[in-house]
């Protein structure tokens, strides 16, 4: 006779909640046509993107194991997100990749000039409809981390709903983490409205420097870290691009962790998301925050050596080898 199952299968350690997009990247677009006009371009890449989808794919590659909750449209672009998530090993049940019949899949048209300069046209689409109630309490149980990412681009979830989700995650015993997206020309009051309610419920707040500057109205990373730490998160980590990251908390004080040296930057899209995946992978292994940030910097550096947001995202073994053989960035 078989033993009856007494416990449900263990939840994957990380739940990622946030944005998923489809990016159409057009190359060698020097200018846009006038109204009624037509111009040619050379090449189109259709890829999946969005912080939550990228980070969840990178976590799968690292072997950490993650679940993803996003909203896409009930449209062909939504099908592409579902198949990319499934290909990466993510669960794509309808409660995970939710099909929204009122909004289409979020979409970016990216026009890249021969010089590499990019122009973006973005439609927020179904990401605007993601809400706290899309993640029931039962889905928070047994998680090590609940990671909300893509904040500033989620009309319903940003602000008090994110705070509600993070507070429920903590009550369920998970640690919480949040990352933002740079929203150009957004006034500081809007950064406050969308982020302030969540700060006290965060274990890790990990914005990029530009995003933290927009939120605080300050310039200097050390000063920004102090200002943000006073607002309640347990740890702040500012992502500093080629300069690595700055950790600030009450145990470690302020610690600068340098980036790895990347000889040829091919495509920085998704670097921040791969960094987050590396950080979470390290923390789930029981590494210290500084060790986990190093793994994040390695995953990010490996991703920017390849075109595409997650093409270069490493396995855990590849990241370990890379960290042994790659010098740190001398800029640090
Ligand atoms: N030129 C570079 N050389 C080496 N490492 C880099 C470089 N650019 C970024 N990184 C790594 O990627 C991490 C995240 O990049 P960044 O600080 O640009 O975050 P982000 O703005 O959130 O990124 P994204 O634009 O993907 O959202 C950095 O902490 C660093 O480790
Ligand atoms: Mg980012």
Q: Is residue 9 part of a domain?
A: no
Task: List CB contacts of 143: < 8 A, sequence separation 6 or more.
Answer: 11, 12, 13, 14, 15, 169, 172, 173, 174
Q: Is residue 332 part of a domain?
A: no
CATH of the domain at 92: 3.40.1190.20
Q: Is residue 248 part of a domain?
A: yes
3: CA distance to ligand 2 center in Å? 47
pTM of the model: 0.95
SS3 assignment, position 132: helix
Q: Is residue 34 part of a domain?
A: no
Q: Are 280 and 14 in contact (CB under 8 A)?
A: yes
Taking CB atoms and a 6 Å cutoff, what residues make up the pocket around ligand 1?
208, 239-242, 244-245, 259-260, 262, 265, 268, 270-273, 275, 297, 300-301, 304, 329
Total domain count for the chain? Answer: 1
Residue that has been written with the tokens 């990019």 in this structure: 118
Q: Which of 153, 300, 305, 328 to mutate to test the pocket of ligand 1 (most atoms within 8 A of CB)?
A: 300
Q: Which ligand is nearest to the CA of 238?
A: 1
**Mean of per-residue pLDDT scores for the chain:** 94
Distance between CA atoms of residues 256 and 248, nearest Å: 9
Which ligand 1 atom minimizes the distance to the CA of 296? 31
CA distances from 302 to 38, 197, 329 (A): 38, 34, 13
Q: Is residue 274 part of a domain?
A: yes
Q: Over the stretch 243-278, which tens digit does the pLDDT of each residue have?
A: 999 999 999 999 999 999 999 988 888 999 999 999
- Closest-CA residue, ligand 1 atom 28, reads 241
Q: Is residue 114 part of a domain?
A: no
Q: Is residue 221 part of a domain?
A: yes
Q: Is residue 41 part of a domain?
A: no
Q: Over the stretch 14-61, which tens digit does the pLDDT of each residue have?
A: 999 999 999 999 999 999 999 999 999 999 999 999 999 999 999 999
| Domain housing 146 | 14-20+50-105+125-325
Percentages of the chain per state (helix, strand, coil), in multiples of 5: 35, 25, 40
Q: Are 168 and 140 in contact (CB under 8 A)?
A: yes
């Amino acid at each position: 006779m078989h033993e009856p199952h007494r416990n449900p299968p263990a939840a994957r350690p990380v739940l990622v909640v946030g944005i998923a997009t489809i990016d159409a990247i057009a190359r060698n677009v020097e200018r846009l046509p006038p109204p009624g006009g037509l111009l040619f371009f050379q090449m189109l890449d259709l890829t999946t993107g969005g912080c939550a989808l990228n980070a969840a794919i990178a976590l799968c590659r690292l072997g950490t194991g993650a679940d993803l909750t996003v909203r896409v449209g009930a449209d062909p672009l939504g099908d592409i997100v579902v198949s990319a998530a499934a290909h990466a090993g993510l669960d794509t049940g309808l409660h995970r990749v939710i099909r929204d019949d009122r909004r289409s899949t979020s979409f970016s048209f990216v026009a890249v000039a021969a010089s590499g300069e990019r122009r973006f046209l973005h439609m927020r689409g179904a990401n605007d409809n993601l809400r706290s109630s899309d993640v029931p309490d039962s889905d928070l149980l047994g998680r090590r981390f609940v990671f909300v990412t893509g904040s500033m681009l989620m009309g319903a979830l940003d602000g008090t709903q994110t705070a509600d989700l993070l507070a429920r995650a903590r009550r369920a015993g998970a640690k919480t983490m949040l990352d933002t997206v740079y929203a150009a020309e957004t006034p500081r009051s809007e950064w406050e409205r969308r982020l302030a309610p969540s700060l006290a419920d965060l274990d890790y707040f990990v914005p990029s420097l530009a995003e933290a500057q927009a939120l605080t109205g300050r310039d200097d990373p050390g000063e920004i870290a102090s200002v943000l730490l006073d607002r309640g998160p347990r740890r702040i980590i500012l992502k500093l691009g080629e300069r690595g990251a700055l950790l600030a908390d009450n145990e470690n004080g302020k610690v600068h962790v340098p980036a790895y040296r990347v000889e040829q930057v091919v495509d920085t899209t998704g670097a921040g998301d791969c960094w987050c995946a590396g950080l979470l992978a390290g923390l789930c292994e029981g590494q210290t925050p500084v060790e986990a940030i190093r793994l994040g910097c390695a995953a990010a550096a490996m991703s920017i050596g390849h075109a595409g947001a997650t093409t270069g995202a490493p396995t855990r073994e590849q990241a370990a080898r890379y960290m042994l053989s790659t010098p740190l960035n001398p800029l640090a």
